[in-house]
Structure 1
Amino acid sequence: MAPFFAFISLALAFIVNATPTPERRLTHVPREATKLAADPETGTIYLFNSRDEHLGILDHDAASSFQRRAGGCADISADEVQQLPGWSKLKDQANSMWGDYQREIKTNNPDSQSIGGSVVGTNGTVMLSQTEGTSYTLETSTTRQASVALDLSAEAKLGIPDIAEVTFKTSVTTTVSNTLGKTESATSNQQTTSTVTAQQKDGQTCQLDFETKTCTTKGSGQMPFIASGWVWFVYKNKTKDHWNWALLMEGYLDESERSTYMSFDSNIGTETKSQYNVVCQ
């Protein structure tokens, strides 16, 4: 009887080993994915986490979502990626996993994816229009461009402190361009107009006397451009069963290692109307 039981045990083991585990198919890239491998012939993408555990595969249709990007962003080129502060760290990571064999660096890889008055009557009430507040004119000039996202324009909100004790702390939104020497301008009218009523005697003319102050202030600022997404390492020969491998920058580099900065100077002109008086004579 002993040989018979041994035969049954071996047969069961053979059956279990011959049954393949179904490949897990995904419709999106899971948050824990930090590495990819791509099959250029089928368009299939294989996903792995930071522990090199296989998470599943994406077919060609699902993988096309890699080509979508949000407004206000710009595609980053392979040359720009290699100018990031953390590029050496990312490259060393790839070398340690797949080797430093002959390869090409790719990003966004298509293979994977704006005072007058009016008198009522001759002896009575005069209605005058008065304006208070500050009108701003802002001009920014780029003095240093970031090494990535060249020519990209971005919105910046600039804080403006008290000026000559007649304005209050406020902010103005403008556009700055990541192009060396380019100047952008913006205006913000934060003045309000209302009606002032005065008693006018027959034969008098009434007017508003108010104080107008004009100031110019200078400032400067920096704006970070932060890179994110996948960097592809396309090998001439297969390494670990694939030609195309990718690393998620956010998975291996902190924000400072993925950032370059644009610098700009600003000139802010203000016109403030205040302290009005009604004068009838």
Structure 2
Amino acid sequence: MLFSSKLLALFALVSTACALPTSIPVLDSIPVNAVNIAKDPELDVVIAYDADGNVLGQLPASVGMRKRDAGSCVNMSSDDVQKLPGWEKIAQYARENWGDNWDSANANPDQYPDRGAILCVAGDVTPVTLDGEPSCKTQSQSTGGTIVGADGTVSLSANQGTSQTTQVTVTQGSSLAVGASVSAKVGIPEVAEITASMSSTVTFTNDLSTSNSFTSSNQQTQTVSLQNQAGKSCSLTFDVQTCDLTGTGNVRMLGSGWMWFFYGSRKNGHYHWAASIDSILSEDERQTSIGFRTSTSTNTASKYNAVCE
């Protein structure tokens, strides 16, 4: 009888220690101060906890999202997370809080498609550092001759302004998310009297030697009306300057989201626990990058002059 009483008392103590609040707030999203989350199999909800282990609220266990289109973020695999510079801190966090005998560590488990680990481009614009002065050359060109009409007038048209095309080639891939595509805005600095600064969103494939290109133009059609002798042939002469410039850059990316640890028995009341990557690791401990080179060609038409012969 004494043994049974002690057993019941021990059971009551354990139950009290693992008990959840009688009323758990229902959340629309995981709070920013959540450090870990856990699946409650009986209620089929995910429960969010802060750094002190306090319950912040509950959400549905899954909401039916899965793969991401090419954008500023890509899903990470379990191997990717374990290649982060600070992976050992995440593993140690799991050991200290739930034990080291997990069955598996999962970055994007099928059970929680919208609550996994992701790799995202950091910052608004990735700057390009030019290698040096551009290589330029200037040539004179002319439009085709146009006959002056019987009324003594003629209109001549040509494009004026600058167009530029930039090719971006991956020179150093990241060891994370190999082969995945991510979009980043790349910024080319201004070169005085040659080209204005420009930026464009480029899709990078995390694989060596893959390339993409983008074009920018402020060229406009300019029309010049002339008075001259009927029957003469008139044309526009102008200068065309072409320049080539090269540069380098690095698309910086940060890991974030959740790393899941699945256990064969309950740990603090749950089988499935997830640790917040961005809460546990500093930016330096969860970053990687894709290195690239740029090759830009510009074409500028200017200094127009009408000639009639």
Question: Is the pair's TM-score, using the shorter chain for normalization, greater than 0.5?
Answer: yes
Post-superposition offset of 1:173 = 4.3
Specify the alignment match of 1:34 in structure 2. Answer: 35
Specify the alignment match of 1:156 in structure 2. Answer: 185
Contact 2:164 2:217 (C-alpha < 8 Å) held by counterparts: yes
Post-superposition offset of 1:69 = 7.6
Specify the alignment match of 2:111 in structure 1. Answer: 111
Specify the alignment match of 1:63 in structure 2. Answer: 61
Specify the alignment match of 2:307 in structure 1. Answer: 279
Task: Give the direction of change, closer, same or farther, for the CA distance of 1:67–1:95 in structure 2 (3 Å limit).
Answer: farther
Alignment equivalent of 2:248, drawn from 220, 244, 256 = 220
Cα distance per residue 1:158-207 (max 9 Å; x no partner): 214226x3433334443332222211122223211121112222342111
Post-superposition offset of 1:141 = 0.9
Q: Is 2:75 the partner of 1:75?
A: yes
Task: Give the direction of change, closer, same or farther, for the CA distance of 1:197–1:175 in structure 2 (3 Å limit).
Answer: farther
CA–CA distance in structure 2, aligned partners of residues 99 and 203 of structure 1? 95
Contact 1:123 1:200 (C-alpha < 8 Å) held by counterparts: no
Task: Give the direction of change, closer, same or farther, for the CA distance of 1:21–1:248 in structure 2 (3 Å limit).
Answer: closer
Alignment equivalent of 1:211, drawn from 224, 239, 250 = 239
Unaligned runs of 5+ in 2: 1-15, 114-142
Q: What is the one-letter code of the residue matched to 1:198?
A: L
Q: What is the one-letter code of the residue matched to 2:305?
A: N
Cα distance per residue 1:75-117 (max 9 Å; x no partner): 111111111122122222222212222431102222234x356
Does the residue aligned with 2:61 lie in a helix, a strand or coil? helix
CA–CA distance in structure 1, aligned partners of residues 269 and 252 of structure 2? 38
Task: Give the direction of change, closer, same or farther, for the CA distance of 1:168–1:102 in structure 2 (3 Å limit).
Answer: closer
Does the residue aligned with 2:92 lie in a helix, a strand or coil? helix
- What TM-score does the superposition give when structure 2 sets the normalisation length? 0.74
Post-superposition offset of 1:279 = 1.2
Alignment of 1:91-240 (within 5 A): 91-113=91-113, 115-116=143-144, 118-119=146-147, 121-122=149-150, 124-150=152-178, 151-162=180-191, 165-240=193-268
Post-superposition offset of 1:21 = 5.7
Does the residue aligned with 2:223 lie in a helix, a strand or coil? strand
Task: Give the direction of change, closer, same or farther, for the CA distance of 1:41–1:74 in structure 2 (3 Å limit).
Answer: farther
Q: What is the one-letter code of the residue matched to 2:240?
A: T
Task: Give the direction of change, closer, same or farther, for the CA distance of 1:221–1:206 in structure 2 (3 Å limit).
Answer: same
Post-superposition offset of 1:254 = 2.6
Task: Give the direction of change, closer, same or farther, for the CA distance of 1:119–1:153 in structure 2 (3 Å limit).
Answer: farther
Which of these two proteins has the greater Rg computed from alpha carbons? 1
Q: Is 2:266 the partner of 1:268?
A: no
Post-superposition offset of 1:68 = 6.0
Task: Give the direction of change, closer, same or farther, for the CA distance of 1:54–1:171 in structure 2 (3 Å limit).
Answer: closer
Alignment of 1:243-258 (within 5 A): 243-258=271-286
The worse-fitting range, judged by mean Cα deviation, of 222-231 and 67-76 is 67-76
- What TM-score does the superposition give when structure 1 sets the normalisation length? 0.81
Does the residue aligned with 2:91 lie in a helix, a strand or coil? helix
CA–CA distance in structure 1, aligned partners of residues 58 and 250 of structure 2? 41
Cα distance per residue 1:198-253 (max 9 Å; x no partner): 22223421111100111111111110222221110112333223221111112222
Does the residue aligned with 1:135 lie in a helix, a strand or coil? strand
Cα distance per residue 1:119-144 (max 9 Å; x no partner): 56235221110211112121111111
Unaligned runs of 5+ in 1: 1-16
Specify the alignment match of 2:46 in structure 1. Answer: 45
Does the residue aligned with 2:93 lie in a helix, a strand or coil? helix
CA–CA distance in structure 2, aligned partners of residues 49 and 69 of structure 1? 28
